[in-house]
Amino acid sequence: MPDSLVPKTVSVLAEGYGLARLKADALAGLTVAIVALPLSMAIAIASGVTPDRGLYTAIVGGFLVSLLGGSRVQIGGPAGAFIVLVAATVARHGVDGLLLATFMSGFMLIAAGYLRLGQYIKFIPYPVTVGFTAGIAVIIFASQLRDLFGLTLPGAEPGPIVDKVAALAQAAGTVSWAAVLTAALTVGIILALRRVRPHWPGMLIAVAAASAFVALLQLPAETIGSRFGGIPRGLPLPALPPLSLEKAAAVFPDAVSFALLGAIESLLSAVVADGMTGRRHRSSVELVAQGAANICSALFGGICVTGTIARTATNVRAGATSPVSGILHSAFLLLFMLLAAPLASYIPL
């Protein structure tokens, strides 16, 4: 096998891997897992699926991205950039269609890796990347206004942003002050801790504090339990998504979109990691790993996997030295899920 397709895990082990590096990677993996726990559920909910699917994605997909990938510090999982695409796919084809599109995109990414297409990421203009990310940010923000204000809509929430904003404006009279107060408390805690205690897990503390606030005061705010019934304690058994030529043809454009965005997002994240560490990633093997991660994520009921810039940067800042930190991040997430799944029902949306 040519060197360019050798995973970084193999290279790290060939260098020699000792207890000191394991301790550093374990601490980094735990730090990233604490960030990824609420984030993975939030991205899944915003994408129109249940929160457990976000955790399946981070656990299964994140494990394979680190084990097989071409970056020493890349963290894989569900990403905000996919929210719009995933939500649209679910609306058109249902969850089964989403799983099939994710499954198919994995094979496309593997093919792209073996064809050495990852090297062409450098030709994407920077303004295109910034504009794309900013556009997605606006759409994601609009998609969260309903839960932010606890609005009640007479029917389904529209997908197009103009129609969505118009429908939300018409429902302004249904604002839930319990939801607004809870949201403000959550945002306030995150911002305050970022300023006074930047090394503390602000997102997790905010989620725990807001959940306790709603539960103890018995506020009428919708929670994960009231909408989704909580999350299961563990991973489901792997199963193929429903396969048929008709369904595959229907979701093929979505699969192509997932593969293209996944390739761009993951390689951009790897480039950011290179800039932070002074290392160089292997773009082709990274695409192969992303493909394997998406295939297996779909088998376990997860959604699209990609390299995540924020969690990768957190991994680097926490002192990660190798892909072992990403593997341990997935293990910690699974442990959290096994031990604390019942508590997730109390998290306010």
Q: Looking at the chain, list the stretches that DSSP marks H as alpha helix, in order from N- to C-terminal side.
A: 8-15, 19-46, 51-56, 62-68, 83-114, 126-143, 145-149, 161-170, 177-196, 202-217, 224-228, 245-277, 283-299, 309-317, 324-340
Cα distance between residue 76 and residue 58, in whole Å:
7
Q: Can you give the pLDDT at residue 3?
A: 47
Q: Can you give the pLDDT at residue 63?
A: 97
pLDDT in tens, 185-209: 999 999 999 999 988 878 788 989 9
Write the single-letter amino acid at 294. Answer: N
Q: Can you give the pLDDT at residue 1?
A: 43
pLDDT in tens, 146-170: 889 999 888 777 777 888 889 999 9
Opening angle at CA 311, ends 59 and 294, nearest 5: 40
CB 68 within 8 A of CB 110: no
Q: Can you give the pLDDT at residue 331?
A: 96
Q: Can you give the pLDDT at residue 341?
A: 84
Q: Can you give the pLDDT at residue 209?
A: 93
pLDDT in tens, 261-314: 999 889 888 988 888 899 888 999 999 999 999 999 999 999 999 999 889 988
pTM, to two decimals: 0.84
* β-bridge partners, 306: 77
Q: Can you give the pLDDT at residue 122?
A: 66
**pLDDT-flagged residues of the chain (< 70):** 1-4, 121-122, 129
Q: Can you give the pLDDT at residue 59?
A: 97
CB 76 within 8 A of CB 65: yes
Q: Is 6 helix (H, G, I), strand (E, B) or coil?
A: coil
Give burial (CB, 10 Å; 0-12/13-18/19+) of 160.
Answer: exposed
Q: How many CB atoms lie within 10 A of CB 161?
A: 15
Opening angle at CA 82, ends 81 and 86, nearest 5: 155
* β-bridge partners, 76: 307
